[in-house]
Structure 1
């Protein structure tokens, strides 16, 4: 478990740094609207060990979201979206739980589960995260078409980036 804690601390710092100093610069859009934003920081919540308490997951999500908001000048949008993602984590894990149950000290990675399981898990949580983030950004469903378009475009880019990170670094815990 000590290794999992160390890995999580390192992952927190690296994903925060990546999001704040690099990915924040990569935005794309047209007509005065930004439609593509790459969000890699939810990977921290996605890769926390399965037996992490829900309260701790929510607290860590709030801390990471607030740290990103501080440097992105987004007034709590990242914190709100990441706490929402952390809140949905347990029900999504229950929904995707295999018949043989999760191993006692397993982490939700492609190594401990499988590629298809990880894609479904990450895909569902990232879709929820991005939809919530862009809904908070618009603060009204009048722009539902723009929210959905931003969500889809950013989901494809974010999932591509997250899957690349997972395949390159191959986290086990």
Structure 2
């Protein structure tokens, strides 16, 4: 028969397990059995506490590890998975490529200046189903026009692949120039 039947017994175990001192199973048993002897409950052993620790883990975790660890380890996390088929979802982002190039310009005094730390910006559109680059564009800086070129390149590529232009069911982007790019 179960030795922990009443709500009061379960509440006592939950309080002891949730203590910030991180009591181990033997310490919880000792404190529980001290109270159980006074009240008239049956004494328990460490195996009962081990089972209750697993059962009540979500309830006592914050008391043992803190609210931040609870948020990071136990609360619902956004878990993403790949789409179930190609062309359902595209992800799009732009970044500075690590390939440096040199650039020579003429300044306002008519002098030639060469800079060696220039980077091109790449905007890529990826189909995460198979990590396939559907479209891309390369420019000197990220702009709405560069993003539009990448989208046009992606649509042109779908026409090359399938014979007709297709667009995805969903498009994931960051919020760069979101109001300007909304009509696109």
TM-score by length of 2: 0.27
Structure with the larger RCO, 1 or 2 (CA within 8 Å, 6+ apart) = 1
When you count helix as a share of all residues, which structure comes out higher?
A: 1
TM-score by length of 1: 0.28
Give 1 or 2 for the bigger CA radius of gyration: 2
